[in-house]
Chains A and B, each alone.
Chain A
Amino acid sequence: MEQERVIDIQHLQKGFFNQEVLVDVSLQLFKGENLVVLGKSGSGKSVLIKCIVRLLMPDKGIITVLGEDVNAMNRQDFAELRKKIGFLFQSGALYDSMNVKQNLEFPLQRIKKGMTQKAMDEKIAEVLENVGLSDALLKMPSHLSGGMKKRISLARTLVVDPMIMLYDEPTTGLDPVTSDEISLLINEVQKKYKTSSIIITHDIECARATADRLIMLHSGRVYKEGGIEAFECSDDLLINSFFKNGLI
């Protein structure tokens, strides 16, 4: 039986100022899986997931999310679809002027309209516990470490129960111990929230820990696709150079 496609990208193209970043990318994300997208810096990994949430508009190609063609949708309909997609930014992108509680309340107040304050408080306490930061409720983002920011940012996306998670380099800039913790957290999120995820990463250890399937982007195209074993046993020089160094 064919698996259910949550995201289906066909022949995606995107360029900036006459420079083609994505030349022809086609990929699928299946329900419940963690798909890791690997590639060198500038290979268009972040551009790919930004096109999925329409932070960038593709030049050509079709992106279907939960059966809807995102580029054909009007702003209002797409805003509804976006409520089902969580996006973890590379920098965390926590709102500087708000404390942790307000950061988590912000999407709840807008996406889960009509939710009582008590229900919001309970939901916030639950997600903070899930990311292991229950005591950070009233802290400001400037008082959090890089790893804590990533966790709070993850909690902010989880608080609205997304069906799809997009992680933009979740372990970049973190020490190896914290990176491992974030990788474990990504797996826990997958199990607990039954999410389907695309994980953009340079970090081979993160890829090993989280991937159900991998895709490598190179020169704006899908270079290789398969399980972690297929990549680790590959004779391809490009893939080998990445996996031997442990970091792309």
Chain B
Amino acid sequence: MNATIKLTAFLVEIANFILFMSLTFKETFSRDFEFNEFLKQCYQLGYKSLPLISITGVIMGLVLTIQSRPILDDFGAVSLLPSMVAISLIREIGPVITALICAGKIGSGLGAELGSMKVSEQIDAMEVSSTNPMRFLVVPRVLAATLMLPILVLYADAWGILGSWAGVNIKGDVSFVLFVSHAFHTFGPIDFFPAFIKTIFFGGVIGIVGCYKGYNAGRGTESVGAAANSAVVVASLLVIIVDVIAVQITDMLI
């Protein structure tokens, strides 16, 4: 009996999420697009994430280089280190780690912000003043997350390459120009575009889950924390699932 109730609640939640997504999609193409709010959200979600993404990017490149070096050394293939790190970073590690970091920062932020607006009746106040909250709150945030995440991933990749160069120079002396030319020697469009396209979906998933959880938070203050927490967990899980699907599709197409 308990399992049936849980299953029903789960299916209702999925149905509500799909409905929320379709409403967001519909409102995206409606008139009166809130362009100023969109720009503000791009600043909030994108620009304000740069310091965190910079640090994460450098550490990704640095750690990957330090960890990979001994194995490549065993095979006498240290010269392949820059291109291996670059391809790993740009194809997989950069997009996924950056998306997971953003699921934490952006997803929780959206969940908490909209959740607290719900609790303090600000969303109701918008509705009462003839403003569609989906159009004003949800659409700009989802679009900003969708647009900003690919940019943040490219930015993280760049810092990752820099971190990798620093990692190589711990036990060597390689100029940055030489490192970059080695890194991108075997690099082709197939390494870049599938990874770039999936980051658009990562951004969309993080934006929509954060907004959905916040918008549908309960009425108590406790529900704000629950919405933020749930946004991070679900967005992270969906990022991984989208990644698996994207890798399978890329694999089939190549």
Binding site for B on A (CB under 8 A): 50, 53, 55, 79-80, 82-83, 85, 87, 89-91, 93-96, 106-107, 110-111, 156, 160
Contacts and interface: CB of A to CB of B under 8 A. Distances in A.
Contact of A110 (B116, B117, B129): B129
Nearest to A97: B113
A106 B125 CA distance: 11
23 contacts: A55-B127, A55-B128, A80-B130, A82-B128, A85-B128, A87-B125, A89-B124, A91-B120, A91-B121, A93-B122, A93-B124, A93-B125, A94-B122, A94-B125, A95-B125, A96-B116, A96-B117, A96-B120, A96-B122, A106-B129, A107-B129, A107-B130, A111-B129
A95 B124 CA distance: 11
A112 to B, nearest CB: 11
Contacts of A95: 117, 122, 125
B131 interface: yes
A79 B130 contact: yes
The 6 closest A-B pairs by CB, nearest first: A93-B125, A107-B129, A93-B121, A87-B128, A79-B130, A89-B121
Interface in B157-213: none
Q: Which of B117, B121, B124, B125 has the most CB of A within 10 A?
A: B125
A106 B128 contact: no
A113 to B, nearest CB: 9
Interface of B: 116-117, 120-122, 124-125, 127-132
B131 A53 contact: no
Contacts of B132: 79
Given A93-B125, A94-B122, 19 more contacts: A50-B124, A53-B127, A55-B124, A55-B128, A79-B132, A82-B128, A85-B128, A89-B121, A91-B120, A93-B120, A93-B121, A94-B125, A95-B117, A95-B122, A96-B116, A96-B120, A106-B131, A107-B130, A110-B131
Contacts of A96: 116-117, 120, 122
Nearest to A98: B122
Nearest to B127: A55
B167 to A, nearest CB: 41
A82 B125 CA distance: 11
A156 B128 CA distance: 12
Contacts of A55: 124, 127-128
A64 B11 CA distance: 36
A94 B129 CA distance: 12
Nearest to B128: A87
A52 B127 CA distance: 13
Nearest to A159: B129
Contacts of B130: 79-80, 82-83, 107, 110-111
Contacts of B127: 53, 55
A87 B129 CA distance: 8
Nearest to B123: A93
A167 to B, nearest CB: 13
Contacts of A79: 130, 132
Nearest to A113: B32
Nearest to B121: A93
A93 B122 CA distance: 5
A191 B154 CA distance: 61
Contacts of A53: 127-128
B65 to A, nearest CB: 42
A82 B132 CA distance: 12
B129 A160 contact: yes
A95 B116 CA distance: 11
A50 B125 CA distance: 11
A35 B131 CA distance: 27
A94 B130 CA distance: 15
A152 B117 CA distance: 17
A93 B40 CA distance: 21
Contacts of A93: 120-122, 124-125
Nearest to B132: A79
B48 to A, nearest CB: 14
Contacts of B129: 82, 106-107, 110-111, 156, 160
